Structure 1
């Protein structure tokens, strides 16, 4: 099985950390159906807390992948610059 890109994994987990509390509040607390903006605010706070506590490893993997990709592109540009100077 092919491994999923770390940025995709982190993005999906962050979305789930927001959408699951939002769905729970809408389904089990009728007051949040009327004040949807309050439910969204609480879900955002809960999702941020969940991601800070439990998603440190996927965040590190995604950051490493972005850093590696940016540095790889930077070295290609350096090679091109040195080739055009010669």
Structure 2
């Protein structure tokens, strides 16, 4: 298995644990569904970064994901801060 795919598996496993704890901690901070929506966006951008074979393919995929997410999310600043480290 290529090294970058093993790294992706480790990152996704750690992210799953972190998101599980973050969901419990953030309890009532987000309206229903917002945390899941942003979590899925973070995971999508991370997957695009690891699986894209070209920088421009990644930029296109991340741009499409962000445009779709921005259309659905009311708090644009919160969305940007949530995916800042993706």
Which of the five TM-score ranges fits, normalised by the shorter chain?
A: 0.3 to 0.5
**TM-score normalised to the size of structure 1?**
0.36
Greater gyration radius: 1
**TM-score normalised to the size of structure 2?**
0.36
